[in-house]
Homo-oligomer: A and B are copies of this chain.
Amino acid sequence: MHRDPDPSAACTHAHCDVIDAEAVQSRARSYAASKGTRFTPTRQRVLALLAATGKPIAAYEIAEKLSGSRKVQAVQVYRALEFLQEAGCVHRLASRSAFFACDHRHGEGETVVFMVCSQCGAVQEAASDLVARGLRGAAKTTGFRPRHPMIEVEGECAKCAGESVS
């Protein structure tokens, strides 16, 4: 997600950009250190799966994919996801009740837009100052104090839009 397409990338999935697994893992690791907690194997496995998948997937899907001889229960996945979201490595997409990895370092108070392709499901992120200003303006007229904006736009990514035209 949210990286320039790289034709040489190891992704076999035409519509999924790959995220920087190294970067995102190291972020999780330092978050854990800063909180006196651990970046445990389960958390690592969930994050690695999300990073490799490159688009939003459901928690139960993660549980299934990680289940081998030992079955991974949904509750374990939710626990890992909670940690990873706090660490800023993973976002939840409310419109789909799905989770995806993010290798951005979002600044505090940054207003991020999730653009979700209705064809392939891939998500692109973009920070927009203009949107942020618009939200502040909208809030001002009613005296509302904005805290946590959530912006999800459904549409078609460049690849899918291109294909449907051809």
Kindly specify which of A8-16, A18-26, A147-155 makes contact with the partner chain.
A147-155
Contact of A154 among B134, B150, B157, B161 (CB under 8 A): B150
Contact of A161 among B113, B129, B143, B151 (CB under 8 A): B143
Decide: B143 and A137 in contact? CB cutoff 8 A.
no
Decide: A144 and B115 in contact? CB cutoff 8 A.
yes
Interface residues of chain A: helix, strand, loop or mixed (majority):
mixed
A151 to chain B: closest residue by CB: B151
Decide: B147 and A156 in contact? CB cutoff 8 A.
yes
| Size range of the chain A interface in the assembly | 35 or more
Q: With both chains docked as a complex, state the minimum distance between the C-beta of A161 and any C-beta of chain B, in angstroms.
A: 5
Q: With both chains docked as a complex, state the minimum distance between the C-beta of A158 and any C-beta of chain B, in angstroms.
A: 3
Q: With both chains docked as a complex, state the minimum distance between the C-beta of A133 and any C-beta of chain B, in angstroms.
A: 6
Q: With both chains docked as a complex, state the minimum distance between the C-beta of A18 and any C-beta of chain B, in angstroms.
A: 16
**26 interchain pairs, CB-CB under 8 A:** A94-B94, A115-B139, A115-B142, A117-B144, A124-B144, A126-B139, A128-B138, A130-B133, A130-B134, A131-B138, A133-B134, A134-B134, A135-B151, A135-B153, A143-B161, A144-B157, A145-B156, A147-B154, A147-B155, A148-B153, A148-B155, A149-B153, A150-B150, A150-B151, A150-B153, A151-B151
